[in-house]
Amino acid sequence: MSSPRFVPGHEPPARGREGALLFAAHGMDLLVQEREGTVGIPTGASLPSLAEGAHFLGTLDGVDCYTAPYPKGQEPPEGMKLVQARTLYRKVDEALFAVAGRALAIAEWDVTHRFCGRCGQPTSLVPGERARRCPTCHTPFYPRIAPAVIVLITRGDTMLLARNATFPEPFFSTLAGFVDPGESLEECVVREVREEVGVELKDLRYFGSQPWPFGRSLMVGFTAEYAGGEVRVDGKEIAEALWFTADNLPRIPPRLSIARHLIDSFIERVKGSSGSSGP
């Protein structure tokens, strides 16, 4: 069995940071190098001042990885530029893209918790933990993760996909929403589906999960069968929702998303069952 390409960690090693990958983040943007048509992550040697105070993420293929907030308003060095991290998909390999997502979350946590939200005092890093703590009131601050659910609803050999009114591009996807305080994941699925498209569910099953840094969330995926009700979109979040077959698909999300994994899994199951049926 091969070793994992990325090994997470939070305690920085004693070795130098010159050859480490440095993910400099500003909001949802990352600082990248462009050379001869390729995109890469700069090293600590090219950004020594940032590397000195950067947070250790772990190792990717044996190479140390760090992240640091990129100073607001500072012009990128020559040969580098800030780009939306989402646009790196398919320009870098998936393992590197995943580390970039982790870097965004850690860098944002570092920026947004420099001061205590309870008493306003400057916070300090906690040795041995991914945490900042107020030295006055001792309140700890950890990287924030917002749990969200996402569900593929099926009815026979069809699936219900919806177009979000706020999507920058017109494509259809599975239904999703953030979990409310005091709500279980299963309760959230039922509520979100009822609010957004007005239908009831049965046979709700866990599918898998995916960290999603672009919404600073952890997506928890489910499948469910349609149990009744007429599809009626809320008109606010959802612009339209329709039933589709595997052979009549609209534009759907890219392969990096759990929404696409849910859709692809259903298509494989439907086509596999139809192909295996005999006289």
Annotated binding residues for a divalent metal cation, as ranges?
A: 176, 192, 196, 237
Q: Which amino acid is at 122?
A: P
Partners of residue 141 on adjacent β-strands: 132
Alpha carbons 238 and 176: distance in angstroms, whole number: 11
Residue numbers in the known binding site are 86, 116, 119, 129, 134, 137, 142, 176, 192, 196, 237, 259
Residue numbers in the known binding site for substrate are 86, 129, 142, 259
Look up residue 3 and give its two tokens: 């070793």
Q: Which amino acid is at 173?
A: S
Question: What is the DSSP secondary-structure string of 21-81?
Answer: EEEEEETTEEEEEEETTEEEPPBGGGSHHHHHTPEEEEEETTEEEEEEEPPTTPPPPTTEE
Alpha carbons 30 and 107: distance in angstroms, whole number: 10
> Of 107, 174, 119, which is closest to residue 143 (Cα–Cα)?
107
Helix, strand, coil tally for the chain in percent (to 5): 25, 35, 40
Residue numbers in the known binding site for Zn(2+) are 116, 119, 134, 137
Alpha carbons 169 and 163: distance in angstroms, whole number: 10
φ/ψ (deg, to 5) at 110: -65, -40
229 Cβ partners below 8 Å, 6+ apart? Answer: 198, 199, 200
